[in-house]
Amino acid sequence: MPNCLKCNSEYPYEDGPSYICPECGHEWPINPEEDEDRLIVKDANGTILNDGDSVTVIKDLKVKGSSSVVKVGTKIKGIRLVESADNHNIDCKVVGVGAIKITPKFVKKA
């Protein structure tokens, strides 16, 4: 296991496709050449999200153009990550609401 690139700590650990330093919080890819093309989306807690993950909504979300609301605690399964200019990087289907896009800062990985 390599030392942290930022603080030189000897305690980094693997988390999915990245190494994470528990002392300074720095993250870097295990295989940097694979990571260049990959879209990195983090939830409200800073956890890296992947296609197919399940997330939980942490704030009531009004659905634009509708009177529907996605309530706190709603679990969303099988998310898809997409490039988005307006930062709505999560594409998903919510039961009772339909297909919507969500900003990652309003969800946490389940």
- Tens-place pLDDT, residues 13-68: 998 888 999 999 888 888 766 545 668 899 999 998 988 999 999 999 999 888 89
Residue intervals in the chain for CATH 2.20.25.10: 1-38
Is the full-model pTM beyond 0.85?
no
* pLDDT for the residue 30: 84
* pLDDT for the residue 31: 76
Instruction: For domain 1-38, give its CATH number from 3.30.465.10, 3.40.190.10, 3.40.50.300, 2.20.25.10.
Output: 2.20.25.10
How would residue 5 be classed by pLDDT, with cut points 50, 70 and 90? confident
d(CA 14, CA 16): 6
Residue intervals in the chain for CATH 2.30.30.40: 39-109
Tens of pLDDT, residue by residue over 58-87, are 999 999 888 899 999 999 999 999 998 899
* pLDDT for the residue 37: 61
Instruction: For domain 39-109, give its CATH number from 3.40.50.2300, 2.30.30.40, 3.30.420.40, 2.60.40.10.
Output: 2.30.30.40
CA distances to 26, 61, 101 from 17, rounded to whole Å, are 14, 30, 25
